[in-house]
Amino acid sequence: MEGRLTASYGRRYEVTLADGTLIECVSRGKRIDYACGDVVGVVAQGPGEGVIETLAPRKSLLHRAAAHREKLIAANVNQMVVVTAPVPAIDTELLDRCLIAAESQGIAVVLVLNKADLPEIAAARERLYPYHGLGYPLLELSAAQDASPLIPLFAGKVSVLVGQSGMGKSTIINGVLPAAGARVGEVSVALAAGRHTTTHARWYALGPDAASGALIDTPGLQEFGLHHLAPADIAAAYVEFRPFLGQCRFSNCGHLHEPGCAVVDAVERGDIAYPRYASYDALMTEFARTPPDYEQGRKR
């Protein structure tokens, strides 16, 4: 039986069949590399239970990888919605990493600035405007009051909501789909960080068929490792780098301190904003500390 993996709980999964039937599934053997949004083949093992036997080819896979572990986030999405807010403070390093992950998979990105009614909105807007200038759409709203401006954005697309804890992802889900019942958590002012309320990815259909689109809610992010990507892929994921790639003196230029680097020259001219280049530099420094046998071991 073919179905959509609509929730992932570690080694257990929820699969929704075409007729809406829910089946609680496990994977065959020790395999755990399934993601919310995957299309899978299931063999029934009893009433409401089954085993995942096959995995259909993915159109995209969003995942993150730190130095020694990997986490699959969502599969077969075509839009990433990065939810930010004035409180907690926007982590631009985390935002850059989310953008890189999306760009590397050809996933469109939309930035949502939630909680626009808070007095800190001006400072948050200033932090996000440079990204808007790079071509990423930016939508401001207060989802707790009215989430309807997001409905046209979601229509007909499979969107994954990502962001720090406490930014309002669950509030958006509840606002767009009141029957979803996603838990909404309070923001811890003392820690200036959100409490985790979503502990696993979950698929929410927006209508009766696939053409209606869907939302995938994800746990709040505190980090986003990119060790599954090659350095060249990361450079290409910075949209402002692209006009200068291939123009460096050396074909294997790492765009760091090499002479004749077109990217570094663009930074010095002001054609590339320094904070974005600094985030690239920090990523490359992190990669340089990765044990050399680890990258080789990650190849599938």
Sequence-separated (6 or more) residues with CB below 8 Å from residue 169: 83, 161, 162, 163, 182, 198, 217, 218, 220
198 shares its domain with 266: no
State residue 103's pLDDT score: 96
Question: Per-residue pLDDT averaged across 223-227, rounded?
Answer: 81
Question: Per-residue pLDDT averaged across 236-252, rounded?
Answer: 96
Domain with residue 283: its CATH number is 1.10.40.50
16 shares its domain with 94: no
Which domain covers residue 70, as residue numbers? 61-217
pLDDT(202) > 80: yes
154 shares its domain with 280: no
The answer to whether the pTM exceeds 0.85 is yes
Average pLDDT, the chain: 86
113 shares its domain with 247: no
Span of 7-11, 109-113, 255-259 with lowest mean pLDDT: 7-11
Number of domains into which the chain is organized: 3
Q: pLDDT tens, 66-102?
A: 766 788 899 999 999 999 999 988 899 999 999 999 9
Q: What percent of the chain has pLDDT over 90?
A: 64
Domain with residue 159: its CATH number is 3.40.50.300
Domain with residue 6: its CATH number is 2.40.50.140
Domain boundary among 55, 75, 100: 55
> Residue with structure tokens 């990669």?
287
168 shares its domain with 290: no
Span of 111-120, 174-183, 272-281 with lowest mean pLDDT: 174-183
State residue 197's pLDDT score: 47
What are the angstrom distances between the C-alpha of 216 and each of 77, 184, 222, 261? Answer: 9, 16, 18, 40
State residue 181's pLDDT score: 61
Residue 122, number of CB atoms within 10 A of its CB? 9
Q: pLDDT tens, 110-135?
A: 999 999 999 999 999 999 999 999 99
